[in-house]
Structure 1
Amino acid sequence: MKICRFDDNRLGIVEGTVVRDVSAALDCLPRHGYPLPNYDPLIANLPQLRARIEAVAPHCRTRPLADIRLLSPIANPGKIIAAPVNYKKHLDEARAQPQIHHDSQVAEIQRIGLFLKANSSLVGPAEGIALQHPDRRNDHEAEVVVVIGKSGRNIGRAEASDYIAGYCIGLDMTVRGPEERSLRKSIDTYSVLGPWLVTADEIADSANLDFWLTVNDEARQRANTRDLIIGIPELIEFASSFYTLHPGDVIFTGTPEGVGPVLPGDRIVVELQGVGRMEVAVRSE
C-alpha cells in the first residue's frame, strides 16, 4: 500500500496516477491528550489503519495525483536518524573535495556512528527546500529512508525487518562548513520526505533497490542499496543499541557519490525503485 498525506492533512492511498482520499479511515486512530506520545500515532496503529482503509476505500473519491500537494508521509517522527558517509564512493568523494570536508577529518561510519536531525527540518516534497546561508555551498543528498513500525531496543539484525513499517525517499540537504553535521543538516526544510510511505510488504528486497537523482534533468547521483557500507538491518541494530526506536522514527540510510550544490530555481527529482518519484523545488528562504 502507498499511503500519503496531502493538502490540509488529508490521508490518501496512491493508485497509479490518482489518489483516493481515505481520510475517513483516520477515525480508527486513538485520540491523545497532553502530554502527547513520543511516537507517530498513525504508524503505531498502521495494521488497524490499513484494515479501516480497505473498508472505506471503495466509497471514497479520487483526485488526480498531479492536483494535490504532497506532505511528509510521516507527520510526527520521534527521531530523524541519519547515517553519514555510508557509501564507499561518497566517503572517497568527501575526503577528496575541500568544499565538502572543510579541513575536517571524514571518518568511516563505523567510527563516527549515526547522527540526529532536528524534527523541525522535516517537510514534504510540495513544501520544497528554502535555502539558507547562500554564501555557502548547499548540497543535495538522495537517500533511501526506512520508517520504524514498532518500538524496540537492542534489535538484532536478523529480526530488524520485523520493525520496518515501510520506505520513503529522502533528501538530506546540507550546508557545507566546519560545524557538526547535525547543525548544518537541521535547517528548516532540509529533511524532505516523500512522496508517500510504501509499506514494507511491497518491497521484496530492500538490499537491492536502485535510486537516482537529477537536478534540472542533469544526472547527479545513482546507486543501489547493495552498495551500503552498513546495510539496513545493521543500521537498525546499530541505532537501537543506543536508543529505543519508536513507531514513526525515520532512518536516512546514507547518500552515494555525486552530491552537489543547488541554487534557487532548481528542480530536484529523486526516483526510488519500488517506491516512486519525488519532485522538489528549490527557492530562497
Structure 2
Amino acid sequence: MRLASFDDGRVGVVQDGHVHEVAGFGPARAGEHSAARRLITTHPHLRSAAELELGDPVPLRDVALLPPVPDPSKVFGAPVNYVDHQREMDEAVQVSGLGLFLKAPSSLVGSGGEVRLPYTDRRFDQEGEVAVVIGRRARHVTTAEALDHVFGYTALLDMTMRGREDRSTRKSFETFTPLGPWIVTLDEIGNVDDLDFSCRVGEELRQKASTASLIWGFAELVAYASSITTLEPGDVITSGTPAGVGPVGPGDTIRVDVAGLGGELTVRVTADGAVACPTGRH
C-alpha cells in the first residue's frame, strides 16, 4: 500500500495514478500532529486500504505532494554507509565509527518541490538514498526486533553543502531533505535490505546501487537510533548514500527512483534569494 500526504496536509492512499483521501484524518488543527503521523500512530501495521474509509479518487496530477510525513520528530542520517562512498570521499572511518547524525525536520520538502540553494559561493551535492519510516515507538530494540517497528520505506535526497561546518548544519537548510513521493508499506517488498535504486541529475545517471551493499542495514540503523533516543511513529531513518555524489546547481532536476515505489522523488534546484556564505570559504 502507498500512503501520501498532499495539498493542505491531507493523507491518502495512492492507487492507479489517483489518491484517495483517508476519512477521519483531516489536516492538522492547532496542537495536532499531521494527518499522516496520526494515521501511522493509529495503524502502525497498516497493510491494506480495506482497513480504511477512503474518499473519491483524485488524479495525482491535480494535487501537490507534501513529504509523506510532514512533521517527524526526528530525521536520522547515516554517514559513510557504503564502502564505495567511503573510497569516493577518502574517509578514514565509516558509519560504525561515526554513528548517526540529525537533520532538521524543517528541511523536508515533497516531491515536485524545489531545493533552494542558500549561498552563491559554496558547493552543494546530491545524495540519493532510501529511508524507512517508523511505525511504532521504539526504545532499546534489538536488531531482531527493529524492522517490526518500521511502517514503510520511501526515497530521500540528503542535500549537502561541502565544507567544515558541522554535518547537521550543512544538511539542514530548508528544502535540503526531499522525501517521497509516498511511503510504501513493508509488506509490498521481500526485503528492505535488498532494494535497487538510482539517482539522476538531468539525464545523467549519477548513482545506482542496492541497499544490499549497506555497511549497516536498516535493522542495525533502527536498533542503534533507538539506543540514542525514543523513536516515535513517523520518524525517518535514512540509509546513507553510495558513490556518485556530485555537484548540483540552479536549473538542475534531481530524480531518485527506488524499486517498488511506483514513482520517482523529483525536485528542481534553484538559487533564488541566495547570498554569500557568512562562514568559512572552502
- TM-score, reference length from structure 1: 0.88
Matches within 5 A, 1:96-245: 106-245=92-231
Other structure's SS at 2:112 match: helix
Residue aligning to 1:281: 268
Residue aligning to 2:243: 257
CA displacement at 1:113 relative to structure 2: 0.6
Change (3 A) 1:49 1:226: closer
May I ask how many residue pairs the two structures share in their alignment? 270
Other structure's SS at 1:26 match: coil
- Give the counterpart of 1:77 among 72, 76, 84: 72
Distance in 1 of aligned mates of 2:45 and 2:103: 30
Aligned partner of 1:13: which letter? V
Aligned partner of 1:24: which letter? A
Residue aligning to 1:65: 60
Distance in 2 of aligned mates of 1:201 and 1:54: 15
- 8 A contact 1:40–1:78 mirrored in 2: no
Residue aligning to 1:100: none
- 8 A contact 2:22–2:52 mirrored in 1: no
1:32-53 C-alpha deviation (Å, 9 max, x unpaired): 875979x932321125987787
Residue aligning to 1:13: 13
1:17-63 C-alpha deviation (Å, 9 max, x unpaired): 2222x242416x9x8875979x9323211259877874533xx3222
Identity %: 46
- 8 A contact 1:42–1:49 mirrored in 2: no
Change (3 A) 1:279 1:32: closer
CA displacement at 1:146 relative to structure 2: 0.6
Matches within 5 A, 1:34-45: 40-45=37-42
Residue aligning to 1:3: 3
- 8 A contact 1:25–1:52 mirrored in 2: no
Residue aligning to 2:280: none
Aligned partner of 1:284: which letter? A
Aligned partner of 1:277: which letter? E
Change (3 A) 1:213 1:135: same
Is 1:266 the counterpart of 2:252? The answer is yes
Residue aligning to 2:25: 26
Distance in 2 of aligned mates of 1:150 and 1:47: 6
1:217-247 C-alpha deviation (Å, 9 max, x unpaired): 1100000000000011011111111211111
Aligned partner of 2:37: which letter? D
CA displacement at 1:283 relative to structure 2: 1.1
Higher percent of residues as helix: 1
1:158-213 C-alpha deviation (Å, 9 max, x unpaired): 11111000111000000001111101000000011100011121122111100001
Other structure's SS at 1:213 match: strand
Change (3 A) 1:240 1:70: same
- 8 A contact 1:7–1:71 mirrored in 2: yes
CA displacement at 1:64 relative to structure 2: 2.2
- 8 A contact 2:137–2:149 mirrored in 1: yes
CA displacement at 1:149 relative to structure 2: 0.7
Distance in 1 of aligned mates of 2:50 and 2:122: 45
